[in-house]
């Protein structure tokens, strides 16, 4: 992908999307400003990480259409009482009980019309954004709007399925999640795409802005199971208030290219976040991950933990930076990235960074990329296990530290099942 490959995305495309949604003028202005900033922004915000963008230069998006197109039919997930079902650029099903108090769980387009004050106030809170956040903000066709009011707890997991059945198309979402004081919400998101062999490359991207006020809890678990024709740009940004806890977990189990950005700001005293990522690459998948936690409040706790298992010609890069600001006394931060390479052509780069402006803190980072432990493999094989079974046991144990922190059992089991499916695609060869 050349640096100017996106230049053909014009203001006409943005105006057409806005007109079709019958949006107010302020929303069109927001979209146009986002497109302008997208064209002005570099692929990487940090100068430390710019040299790790080589995977972007290999992408060919010339045949991908950014215009709005008619939707194709898909029936696999219909009628299963899924809370939200998205097919391509349209939210086709919404099944939400109306006994959730004053909680609002709707399509972002509906929220722009019914709750303009809330949408306007929050979309302006993160003015400096990633390049592809700007693109999602300019071109989004649908997305989630969740507002959990004060003293409201939604204990049932909200399930959202996104299916991309298009060929040679680009679809973008904008998601806005707001939790007021003393509220609870749990969200499970699944991403799928067509498994047809003749489907051409497509793009799916989203921006997800998360605002959690004081004494609240939010858990978002995502499973990315795109086929090898999807190029994804996944961006999320969290702001966490006093004594609140957020847990984010993503399993990258498919796709052609996954570019993920996760930025978290612990603004409130005693706030916490866990940011977990699990990557399994078996063919030629490319995963480019950036994580960042900023400690602004006192007594905050933030943890990034990334585990990757790669074989074939798959590739993973983790670029992490945790920052503790001067006023963030007694902050506790951790940044970890580890990968196992199961083939001589698989690659991983782990680049952890810490920026610390306060001495009264705890700060740790850990990084390792290595082939599977041959001594451990020999030990297991000496116990009458064949090589593939021994490798599976080692890899399962390696990923367990991520999986065990997914608290909802049914979600954890579903992700474990998908990891098991990916194991079947693995071809283990000597790394020497």
The answer to whether residue 270 scores a pLDDT higher than 90 is yes
Mean pLDDT of 79-95: 87
Instruction: Please report which confidence band the pLDDT of residue 97 belongs to, taking 50, 70 and 90 as the band edges.
Output: confident
If you search the block for the tokens 């045949």, which residue do you land on? 63
Residue 44: per-residue pLDDT: 75
Question: Residue 50's pLDDT band (boundaries 50, 70, 90)?
Answer: low
B/e letters for 155-187, b = 16+ CB within 10 Å, e = fewer, are: eebbbbbbbbbbbbbbbbbbbbbbbbbbbbbbb
Residue 65 has what pLDDT?
84
The Cα–Cα gap between 193 and 91 comes to 15
> What pLDDT does residue 4 have?
44
What tokens were used for 44? 């990487």
- Supply the pLDDT for residue 187: 96
Over residues 115-126, mean pLDDT = 92
The answer on pLDDT for 220 being more than 70 is yes
Q: Please, which pLDDT band fits residue 100 given cuts at 50, 70 and 90? A: low
Distances from the Cα of 418 to the Cα of 207, 364, 396, 399, angstroms:
25, 31, 12, 13
In a domain, 227, yes or no: yes
430 lies in some domain: no
Strands 184-193, 170-179: pairing is unpaired
Q: Is residue 175 part of a domain?
A: yes
Q: Are 223 and 189 in contact (CB under 8 A)?
A: yes
DSSP 8-class letter at 70: P
User: Residue 320 pLDDT > 60, yes or no?
Assistant: yes
- Give residue 14's pLDDT: 95
pLDDT for residue 99: 60
Is 217 part of any domain?
yes
What percent of the chain has a predicted confidence (pLDDT) above 90? 68
Backbone dihedral region for residue 318 (phi beyond 0: left; psi -120 to 50: alpha; all else: beta): beta
Mean pLDDT across 277-303: 96
What is the per-residue pLDDT for 76? 62
- Asked whether residue 396 carries a pLDDT value surpassing 70, the answer given is yes
DSSP 286-319: EEEEEEEEEE-STT-EEEEEEEEEE-TT-EEEEE
Element holding 410 (H helix, E strand):
helix 409-423
- Reply yes or no on whether the pLDDT at 71 is more than 60: no
CB-CB contact of 349 with 386 (8 Å):
no
List, in sequence order, the alpha helices (H) in 337-386: 374-381
**Number of domains present in the structure of the chain:** 1
Residue 102 structural domain: 11-423
Q: How far apart are CA 305 and CA 398, in angstroms?
A: 12
Query: Is 235 within 8 Å of 130 (Cβ atoms)?
Result: yes
Q: The whole model's pTM is what?
A: 0.93
Indicate the angle between helix axes 131-139 and 11-20, nearest 10 degrees: 50
Tokens of 103: 């909680």
Specify if 5 maps to a domain: no
Q: Tell me the pLDDT tens digit for each residue of 135-191.
A: 999 999 999 999 999 999 998 999 999 999 888 899 999 999 999 999 999 999 999
The answer to whether position 431 is within a domain reads: no
* Cα 81 off chain centre by: 24
Q: Which helix (H) or strand (E) holds 402?
A: helix 387-403
Q: For all residues of the chain together, what is the average pLDDT?
A: 89
Residue 295 lies in a domain: yes
CA distance 366 to 372: 18
Q: With respect to residue 91, please indicate whether it lies within any of the assigned structural domains.
A: yes
């Amino acid at each position: 992908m050349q640096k100017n490959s996106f230049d053909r995305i014009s203001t006409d495309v943005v105006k057409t999307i806005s007109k079709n949604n019958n949006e107010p003028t302020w929303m069109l202005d927001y979209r146009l400003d986002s497109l302008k900033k997208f064209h002005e922004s570099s692929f990487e915000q940090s100068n430390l990480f710019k040299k790790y963008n080589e995977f972007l230069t290999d992408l060919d998006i010339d045949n991908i259409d950014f215009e709005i197109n008619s939707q194709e039919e898909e029936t696999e997930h219909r009628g299963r009482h899924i809370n939200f079902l998205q097919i391509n650029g349209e939210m086709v099903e919404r099944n939400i009980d109306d006994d959730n108090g004053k909680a609002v769980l709707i399509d972002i387009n509906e929220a722009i019309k019914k709750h303009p004050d809330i949408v306007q106030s929050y979309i302006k809170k993160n003015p400096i954004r990633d390049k592809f956040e700007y693109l999602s903000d300019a071109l989004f066709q649908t997305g989630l709007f969740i507002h959990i009011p004060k003293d409201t707890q939604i204990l049932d997991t909200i399930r959202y399925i996104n299916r991309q059945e298009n060929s040679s198309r680009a679809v973008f979402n904008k998601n806005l999640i707001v939790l007021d004081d003393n509220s609870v919400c749990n969200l499970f998101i699944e991403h799928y795409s067509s498994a047809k062999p003749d489907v051409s490359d497509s793009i799916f991207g989203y921006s997800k802005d998360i605002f959690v006020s004081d004494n609240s809890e939010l858990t978002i678990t995502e499973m990315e199971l795109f086929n090898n024709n999807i190029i994804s740009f996944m961006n999320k940004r969290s702001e966490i208030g006093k004594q609140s806890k957020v847990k984010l977990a993503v399993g990258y189990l498919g796709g052609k290219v996954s570019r993920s950005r996760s930025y978290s700001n612990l603004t409130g005293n005693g706030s916490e976040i866990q940011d977990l990522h699990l990557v399994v690459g078996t063919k030629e998948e490319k995963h480019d991950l950036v994580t960042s936690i900023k400690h602004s409040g006192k007594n905050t706790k933030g943890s990034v933990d990334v585990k990757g298992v790669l074989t074939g010609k798959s590739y993973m890069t983790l670029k992490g930076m945790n920052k503790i600001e001067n006023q963030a006394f007694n902050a506790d931060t951790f940044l970890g990235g580890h990968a196992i390479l199961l083939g001589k052509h698989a690659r991983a780069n782990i680049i952890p960074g810490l920026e610390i402006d306060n001495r009264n803190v705890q700060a740790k980072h850990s990084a390792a990329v290595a082939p599977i432990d041959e001594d451990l493999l020999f030990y297991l094989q000496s116990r009458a296990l064949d090589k593939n079974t021994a490798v599976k046991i080692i890899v399962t144990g390696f990923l367990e530290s991520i999986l065990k922190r997914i608290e909802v059992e049914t979600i954890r089991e579903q992700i474990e099942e998908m990891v098991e499916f990916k194991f079947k695609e693995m071809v283990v060869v000597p790394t020497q």
